[in-house]
Amino acid sequence: MVKIIQSPVTPLHVQNDDRIGIYQKIAEAMTRGDFGGNIPSGNDEIGQLGKSLQKLSTYLQQQVERNQLLTRIMLEINLNLRIKDVLNHIYDSFEQLIPYDRISLALLDNKGDKLKLYWVRSNYKIQKLPTGYSSPIMNFGLNKLIDNGELCVLNDLESYYRKHPEFHSTKDMLREGIRSNMTCPLISTGTTMGFIFFSSCKKNAYKHFHYELLLQIASQLSIIVEKNKLYKTVRINKQLVEKKKKLEEQVSHDALTGLLNRPAIFNIFHKQLLTAKRNNFQIAAIMIDIDHFKKINDTYGHASGDTVLCSVAKRLLESARIHEYVGRIGGEEFLVILSPCDKEGAIKAAERLRVAISSREIGKEGHLVPVTISLGVSINTANTSDENQLLRQADEALYLAKNNGRNRVEITAP
């Protein structure tokens, strides 16, 4: 920044015509944003013009600096959604353009009848109105600002409090040492969301040109407050969706194994069978039972039994293809629905699942537990009435697999 130097007396060698030429060049430079250089003045009419030109130069330079600061705020808003960071940027940047010893921002609750200080920063330690302070809006005396959306400037808080002793927040501000205050509502889509406060320990601190600057700051803050509210709403909605999904998982999945539970797998079974009938393709149902599960519980304990159940469930799920649905229907019994699937594919799938369980033992607390499964397969035909008939056929095949030595696959004749 180039310092503007004012010459109090017109030098003798600077003639009137010379000064007019200098003024013309300075005016042209000012249009290019250059406010530096000496502006000769004097007590005659042309000298007075020089003084006016210098005042204009100073004013325009302040306007440029103010606009640059506002541009930085807009950049902060675009680059940073953290409103506290933007407020700290304002506090650190505007002291040359607007007087303040304290800046605070308060937000209205959803009902609009309570105000809470969201952010406070000051150059003194005593704070009667700290961050988190909450009170009914009537205690702040800001009801009219909500209604008319206008800026409120109080350059003599002591006098104001004598007339309005019912406003407790004014009393607390006076106890902090504040004597002047500007309050501007933060408005978005016609609704007041909160307020920004600029406060000074001096009386009559605020002039008319400060009002316009605060209005511009408030308009930018309104944008980021609204963005934060929208992002908060999005986050809340996302959390609700996640909670709903988690609840649905809990309702439809077995608590121990994580597989689809009995109602969920049967519901899928019913829907897949209806689809198969409409589109004239086959599906398969595979009933699975862990061999000698009671013996596993008796030999290794029920904790080991739970481990076996979970391990079997995990291996079944890992071995299943994208069109194969795996569920636990009770105890050590499982049901797998394959849709679509013909007889040959169903037998191959069942054998794949059997090998996945029997190929290696299951470890539990130093013990290696050998585990096998028996599987019964059924395929729907044109004569299949419903899923219960198909399930009975799979159960009959499972019974046959167990009677024929276990650790094997059997299928009912279509």
Number of domains in the chain: 3
CA distance 322 to 129: 61
Q: Are residues 341 and 406 in the same domain?
A: yes
Tally of residues, the chain: 414
The one-letter amino acid code at 252 reads: S
Residue 238 lies in a domain: no
CATH code: domain of residue 381: 3.30.70.270
Cα(47)–Cα(80) distance, integer angstroms:
49
Catalogue the active-site residues. 332
Looking at 186, 212, 233, the residue that finishes a domain is: 233
Mean per-residue pLDDT for 389-405?
95
**What's the pLDDT band for 202 if we cut at 50, 70, 90?**
very high
Average pLDDT of the residues in 263-284: 91
The larger pLDDT score, comparing residue 188 to residue 312, is at: 312
Q: What share of the chain is helix, strand, coil (3-state, %, to 5)?
A: 50, 20, 30
The end-to-end CA distance of the chain, in Å, is 93
Q: Which domain holds residue 280?
A: 262-411
Query: In what helix (H) or strand (E) does residue 394 lie, and over which residues does it extend?
Result: helix 387-403
Tell me the pLDDT tens digit for each residue of 60-77: 777 777 777 767 766 665
Q: What is the pTM of this model?
A: 0.50
Specify whether 132 is located in the same domain as 87. yes
CATH of the domain at 121: 3.30.450.40
Q: Kind and range of the H or E element at 64?
A: helix 45-79
Nearest-angstrom CA–CA distance, 292 and 258? 22
The mean per-residue pLDDT over the stretch 263-267 comes to 92
Question: pLDDT by residue (tens digit) across 23-37?
Answer: 778 777 777 777 766
Task: Say which DSSP state 205 is in.
Answer: -
Is residue 193 located within the same domain as residue 117?
Answer: yes
Q: Is 262 exposed, middle or buried (0-12, 13-18, 19+ CB in 10 A)?
A: middle
